[in-house]
Every structure is written in structure tokens, then in C-alpha cells.
Amino acid sequence: MAVFMPKYRLFSKAVAFKPNPRQWSTRWTIVQRSLYGSRQHQQQHQNSSSTNHHHQHHHQQQQHHQQQQQHQQHQQQYHHQSTTGKSRSKVYRKWSWKAGAGWTILSVLDWWLLAAGGWLTWRGVFLRWTPIGLCMVVAAKWHLHNRDLDKKGLPRTAAKWQAKMYCSLPLRVMSRCWGWVADRKVPKPARPMLYGLYSTTFGVKMEEAEPADFKEYKSLGAFFTRPLKEDARPIDPKTCFVSPCDGRILHFGVANSNLIEQVKGVSYSLEAFLGPPTWCKKDAPEMIEKVKKKPSPDSVLYQCVIYLAPGDYHRFHSPTLWKPELRRHFSGELLSVSPKIAGWIPGLFCLNERAVYIGKWKHGFFSYTAVGATNVGSVEIFMDEKLKTNRPHKKKNFDELELPNDKYLEKGELVGQFRMGSTIVLIFEAPKEFKFNLFPGQRVKVGEKLGTFEGVEEQEENPEEVKRVIESLCDSEVTAL
């Protein structure tokens, strides 16, 4: 067999190879005739011209007349061959693949090239043919999966095997390495060039930063978590609910079931995201009814997802006056939380590492979640020094910590910071009159109004009165138990 033939013998056979058109198939002969027809015509034309030149001295006048006739015949033959060449070219295009592909693939020269490149060795089989075959299988499965989703009218989301392949990538190791690089000191002369390039690429507004001089930031991590000037983000005093960060609105709306949309058409499980509701003893069939503090007709569960891009202000604040009571740290994956990935992987926020803070505000249940992402060196919460993120996976699904009973977060108070862009997820209870003043993809900043209560004129709140309302919710829970 040619597979096991030595390279020097393959080369000698390839050099001595002479194709015999008579042994080819009928279909390939048609192609061969169309290819070599023009050559035969040229040879005939040369022979006729040489013969005329040999008898030129005997019949000069007759030769001139014959040349004119031959010229006319030549034009007619050329016209006839050009017209038939079109049909032959059609035959060539029609039969070239069927007739010539097998001969080309199985030719000795091609086998010699494969052997010379190491494709026919065991090493080539495992390191070259096998990866190509696997890639073709994966591409075919991906295409079939997308076609099935298109037939059902569903968005193109990742299958389970695709999500597992994505999660198997060493993203946590890469993120930890990036965190180490971000903490290294940058030479002072190189800071304006490095930080300036980053600012130009991601649209960083350094006139809002404090300080605004690039040379004042010793490392990339310090530049990513730069503070802003005091008047750069004013807090709206006439609303009780403001944006906790700078970013883009991925999704918002009402949570009517245990499955909540992370983007349009792609959902995640509320119980998988928050964990089992052990903080409340309320007996209810669904997760939504368990977490709510007030009856269902008058109270609704809402959610708002805000994505922080790499060029945004990376610190996040409290959106309202509320009382955090419990912290849960889920040591999950560090997948990207960009809008494209969020629309591709269902349950992305349940897969990723996150710090969930559960508590109450004046209208009932309130949760504040900082979701980790790829290349996020760490998520820091200033009131929770025990929180350590971006560490190796733990055996437990989550770590739980009860927060001090007298701890409150004021509206606009600084909560924590990301090392790179990530996501903030707010899930809260509010009266049914609450309406968002947002649209998908809108860019928001810290302190801007996110929603209003229809039919209610909002005024500046008294923090002490709000705290008494929150304490009354706690007392009513204890009385119910």
C-alpha cells in the first residue's frame, strides 16, 4: 500500500508517473478533450503554415489565394471551437469534481506529500487527523443544535455540552494570573502611555477621576478601581431607588416565576442564584412567595441587571437605604458576563462566582449581588473583610455569614469594587405601582433614578423613619414565627 511505502519510492513513482488518458473514464475523457482541444488546433495551424512556407517559391500567387482561404477557414473553425468551448466548459464544470476528485485524492503525488509532511505516521494521526476530525464533529453538532433552535423559534443558546466545554477552560487560573499582573507596580515613566492607551481604547473619562494624573496610579489594579471626584456622581435626593453603578442595563422587569430572565429569552433559576431560602421560615410552594414579606396581590418581585464594561467606573454603591442580614459566597466559574455571552449561556449568573447579600428595605425583601467574571482579579466588599474571592473551588456550594444586626447601608454609600468589568444584579420586592424608567441597553450612572411609583409624589426620605419601617418588618416576621 502507498501508506506504508518509503518516501524515496513514493518520490520515484511520482516522477515516473505518466497518465494514460485511454484508461480514464468516459466522463473524464470529455474533460480531457475540452482541455487539450485548443492545443491540437495550435499544432494543426503550425503544420499548415510550415507546409505553405515550403512551397512558397513555386506558387506565390496560388499561395496568397490559399492563405486567404485558410484564414477564412481558420476564423470559421475558431468561431466554431469558441462556441463549442462554452458547452465543453459547462461539461467541465459539471463533471470535473465527480471525475477528477477521486483521481486527485488518490494520486501518488498527494500521498507522497502527506507522507513527507508526517501525516501518515502515528504521530500525525493523533496530533493532526484526530483534532481535525473532532473539530468537524463539533462544528456539525453546533450547526444541528442551532438549526433545531431555529425551527422551534427559540434564541440560539448554548447546549449543555457547549457550556461544559466553556467551563472546562482554565479561566480561573488565567484570572488569578491577571490579578497578579494587575497588582505589579508600573514604572512611572510608562504609566501615561499604558493608562492612556487603555483610556483611549475603552473610553475612560479621566476628568472625573480623583486624581486625574496617570502617574499617581502605581498599578493597573489601582487604575481600574480609581475613585471619582465628590461631585462627579450626585445622588438623586427625591427618589428612594437609584443606580448602584455605572454601566449598561442588560435586563429589568417583573419576576413572575422561579425562572427569571437574565436577558430577553434566556433565563436563570431564582433558587439556584440565591440558594435555598433558609433565612425565612415561610411555608409557600414557590420560591418567590417564600422570599416576599408582603402578600402577593399588593407586592411584586422585581429584578435589574447592570453590566459594567472595562472602561466604566468599577466601584459600586448602595441603591437605597436597606439592611443586609446575610451574605452567601458562591465559588463558581469565572465566565465572561458580556451581553453576548449572557445571551448565549442560560443560567450564566448561577454558574459564575458571586457574593449575594440578602436583607430588607422599606418595601420588603432586597438582595444585592456582585457577580464575578473572567479577568476579575477579585471582588472586594468593604464592609465584609472575610470575603475572599477568586480562590480555588471549594467543596461546599456556598459559604454563609450572618452580618451584624445594626448594619445599614445608606443610599449612595460605597459598597465595594471590581478589578475589571462585571455585573450587579438587584432582586427586590416593591409595590405593584413601581415602574422602571429604563430601556434595554440604556447607560446609567451612579445616583441616577431607576424607577418611580405611579400616583405617588416622592419626597426626600428621613433615614430614621425608613429604619423604623425596616425594623417593623423584622418584628412582624418574628411575630409570624
Residue 34 known to be catalytic: no
Residue 317 known to be catalytic: yes
Peptide bond into 211 cis (omega under 30): yes
Burial (CB count within 10 angstroms: exposed 0-12, middle 13-18, buried 19+), residue 126: exposed
Pinpoint the alpha helices (H) of 126-238. Answer: 130-152, 160-167, 171-182, 191-202, 220-224
Task: Please state at what angle helix 7-15 crosses helix 108-116, rounded to 10 degrees.
Answer: 150
How much is the CA Rg of the chain, to the nearest whole Å? Answer: 37
Nearest to 292 by CA among 194, 244, 361, 237: 361
How is residue 455 written as a grid cell? 400616583
At 203 the three-state DSSP class reads: coil
Question: What is the separation of C-alpha 87 from the centre of its chain, rounded to a whole number of angstroms?
Answer: 49
Q: Out of 317, 318, 378, 384, which one is annotated catalytic? A: 317
Residue 422 known to be catalytic: yes
Rounded CA-CA distance 233/227 in Å is: 11
Within 10 angstroms of residue 327's Cβ, the number of other Cβ atoms is: 22
Rounded CA-CA distance 226/212 in Å is: 9
Residues 6+ apart with CB under 8 A from 162: 142, 145
Under 8 Å between Cβ of 239 and 458: yes
Rounded CA-CA distance 372/220 in Å is: 18
How is residue 399 written as a grid cell? 459559604
Under 8 Å between Cβ of 85 and 77: no
Q: Out of 96, 175, 246, 312, which one is annotated catalytic? A: 246
- Annotated catalytic sites, by residue? 246, 317, 422
